[in-house]
Structure 1
Amino acid sequence: MSSVNLLAREVAAKIVFYGPGLSGKTTTLRKIYETVRPAHRGEMMSIATEGDRTLFFDFLPVKVERVNDCSVRLALYTVPGQVFYNATRKLVLQGADGVVFVADSQPEALDSNRESFQNLEENLLEQGIRLDRFPLVIQWNKRDIENVLPVEQLRAAINTRGVPEFETAATSGRGVLDALKAITRLVIKDLRAKRIVPAPRPTPTPVAPGAGLEAQLSQHLPMRPSQTMAAIQPPAMTPRQHPQSAVAGATAMAPRMDAAVATPPPTPAQAPSGQRALGPATALAPGLLFDHARAAEAAFAGAQYGTCVTACMDAVRRALAFAGEGSLAQQGFLLRVDGADLLRLQGLSNKVDALRVDDAAFALYFLMQVFTRLNAVGLPESA
């Protein structure tokens, strides 16, 4: 069954090419692989079984059209056609979202076509799936060979349900992509009917190319009734600025004000009892990481730079975990955070006894980068 990667906004669907031995399943898949642009395809992998050249199945991820604001990635598989590899066919068929049945149009293959189609129906039924309610397309393959059976005769023997069918010649590629497009449409329609594809995200306000971190932060910062925009706007800060400028913004937590504002907002010392103006990292943090960001900023304000870096590293680990399972580097790659900055923070967290104020300022800066990426992809959902 299909899987959804909310972080990447991608739906992965599995399509299996099924049919008797030597019907052209592998040739079909190879022709698709050759046709798809290299940038849109993954590596083709195969498992060869002794006994016949067709006894292997291939895996091929292909990028296709977007659904809502999600891309759909197709994983295309072939199965061994010979009857004594039924266990392998069952394994490959598990979790399939659609099937392309590749039938051999030659007269001597008619019985094999019937047996294979019946086998497909039985194997799906073992998974609790009825073939008449399942995305299915049929390829009448080898139409470039002489003395093949008429399509009407093949249809009467196999396609009694009237599913979409295509005359194909896998060796030349004729009709192969038409069949792929048809099964893709059926699979996407089925995913929508099952509500597998998530609803589109609200379109964020576009940020100008080359805009700094401040512009990105202002796009994602939530407005709270007790705060003005000036009170939560983070200081302009980039890695190339002098460290002292970053430190000044982080320690003072002083809000900037527009010249047109007559009365300045309260400073941290003037804030009402029980309230404290948010620092830039805390203002951007999702609810689950709010206290971690505040602890990091409090440590910075208290000149506890080692504690600040440690708190930032802990918050970054927790934030990247929302990207799913994997190493810290893999999670960072999925969130598209700067890998070099991540490595630098990891190095700083391993020598907390020798850290300076600019090291802690960098840690806070990188933490805000990570929070910005979480907001950009809508994670965590509960936040």
Structure 2
Amino acid sequence: MSSVNLMAREVAAKIVFYGPGLSGKTTSLRKIYETVRPAHRGEMMSIATEGDRTLFFDFLPVKVERVGDCSVRLALYTVPGQVFYNATRKLVLQGADGVVFVADSQPEAMDANRESLANLEENLFEHGIRLDRFPLVMQWNKRDLDGVLPVEVLRKELNPRGVPELETSAANGRGVLDTLKAITRLVIKDLRAKRIVPPPRPTASAQPAGLEAQLTQHLQHRQQPGAVASQPVQAGGPVPRVAPVAVMPPPRVEPTPIPAPQPGPKLLGAASALAPGDMFDHARAAEAAFMTGDYATCVTACTDAIRRALAFAGEGSLGQQAFLLRVDGADLLRLQGLGTQQHLRVDDAAFSLYVMMQVFIRLNAVGLPNGE
């Protein structure tokens, strides 16, 4: 499911490239990665699977157009095509906002295309999503080969719904970026329909037009009860006389003594309130360091807590653990970069607390740790 960062005014959406084995999913993502400017992409992380050139997953944040005053960032994934990796495909598909189905255009691959499309519909249904109501783009791949099936045949067999379809050749990159644009448009349209995108910030046009109108509004609010409003003066007419209004001095009010604060229970901060038991001390230490201005200690405590929290996802690299918990890999990369800096600012420490709380939220969502 897409996420919204209200502070950064950013909407993150997840798109999965789905299809049978060796259909061109990985090649498509690699072409996108090579085309996107380095400033607009994150690190591609992958784990190869045996017997299939498809990656376990690709993590590729790509910044795209804005929606209102929010920017949209895409996380692109592939899934393994082999049948015995269905559990992995189902896990990668969780939380997707759109799917690109990469079909192999060769005649001998038609049965695998049908099986993979049926598997996509089944896995989405287990996540409570109907394929006919989900953003989907069909990518007819390998159109550069000889003897491929006509598009009309592929459409009849695999696209009875009539979703957007594009002919591609992932080997040379032809049509791949057009496919990404098509699914991005569908995802953004779906986000707008679901009202996931926050409303735009108020602009200066919402204020009264002109300085005179603003002063008039200000004076109306400042007008005291009982004051005599000025009357319009007609040209050439007598000036009306206004009786002076007696102004009574305000009554003297004795200041009320403020009682001294009484000792009571110390409230938890937001991070420590979300922290599992094993990370509670780290969260409190991070919050205490932030309040005292020790931003380096805050970042260190957050980084240590995050590593311990991700370990609950099982053995593997930090990227694998983050993927399984659906933690933003770009945020983790930025947090790792903060550890190499000598002078840290308040916004660096605040960002570290934000990432740590996001990890704690993901742990709570999946029921980890389970207390055993």
TM over 0.5: yes
Shift of 1:202: 2.3
1:97 aligned residue: 97
Letter in 1 for 2:49: T
Shift of 1:47: 1.0
Bigger shift: 188-197 or 48-57?
48-57
Distance (whole Å) between structure 2 residues aligned to residue 341 and residue 114 of structure 1: 54
Distance (whole Å) between structure 2 residues aligned to residue 96 and residue 128 of structure 1: 12
1:261 aligned residue: none
Shift of 1:314: 3.2
Contact 2:52 2:81 in 1 (8 A): no
1:125 aligned residue: 125
2:3 aligned residue: 3
Is the counterpart of residue 65 in structure 1 residue 42 in structure 2?
no
Distance (whole Å) between structure 1 residues aligned to residue 57 and residue 80 of structure 2: 7
Distance (whole Å) between structure 1 residues aligned to residue 255 and residue 345 of structure 2: 35
1:37 aligned residue: 37
The equivalences for 1:211-360 within 5 A come to 274=255, 314=291, 340=343, 342=345
Distance change >3 Å, CA 53–CA 201, structure 1 → 2: same
Contact 2:26 2:55 in 1 (8 A): no
Letter in 2 for 1:85: Y
Shift of 1:7: 1.1
Distance (whole Å) between structure 1 residues aligned to residue 113 and residue 12 of structure 2: 29
Cα offsets for 1:319-340 (capped at 9, x unmatched) = xx9xxx8799x9xx99xxxx94
1:164 aligned residue: 164
Contact 1:99 1:135 in 2 (8 A): yes
The equivalences for 1:150-229 within 5 A come to 150-203=150-203
Shift of 1:12: 0.5
Give the unaligned 5+ runs of structure 2. Answer: 206-220, 223-251, 257-287, 306-330, 336-341, 350-372
Contact 2:64 2:71 in 1 (8 A): yes
Distance (whole Å) between structure 2 residues aligned to residue 115 and residue 178 of structure 1: 26
Distance (whole Å) between structure 1 residues aligned to residue 44 and residue 117 of structure 2: 26
Letter in 1 for 2:58: D
2:142 aligned residue: 142
Distance (whole Å) between structure 2 residues aligned to residue 139 and residue 312 of structure 1: 51
Q: Describe the SS at the equivalent of 1:180.
A: helix
Distance (whole Å) between structure 2 residues aligned to residue 342 and residue 155 of structure 1: 55
RMSD: 3.5
Shift of 1:272: 7.9
Distance change >3 Å, CA 129–CA 204, structure 1 → 2: same
Distance (whole Å) between structure 2 residues aligned to residue 178 and residue 71 of structure 1: 20
Taking structure 2 as the reference length, what is the TM-score of the superposition? 0.58
Distance (whole Å) between structure 2 residues aligned to residue 273 and residue 185 of structure 1: 65
Distance (whole Å) between structure 2 residues aligned to residue 71 and residue 25 of structure 1: 26
Q: Describe the SS at the equivalent of 2:52.
A: coil
Contact 1:55 1:81 in 2 (8 A): no
Q: Describe the SS at the equivalent of 1:53.
A: strand
Contact 1:132 1:161 in 2 (8 A): yes
Letter in 2 for 1:111: D
Taking structure 1 as the reference length, what is the TM-score of the superposition? 0.56
Q: Quote the sequence identity (%).
A: 78
Distance (whole Å) between structure 1 residues aligned to residue 37 and residue 182 of structure 2: 19
1:75 aligned residue: 75
Cα offsets for 1:278-336 (capped at 9, x unmatched) = xxxxxxxxxxxxxxxxxxxxxxxxxxxxxxxxx9973879xxx9xxx8799x9xx99xx
Distance (whole Å) between structure 1 residues aligned to residue 167 and residue 159 of structure 2: 13
Q: How many residues align?
A: 237
Contact 1:191 1:197 in 2 (8 A): yes
Distance change >3 Å, CA 82–CA 341, structure 1 → 2: closer
Distance (whole Å) between structure 1 residues aligned to residue 290 and residue 133 of structure 2: 50
Give the unaligned 5+ runs of structure 1. Answer: 206-224, 227-270, 276-310, 347-383
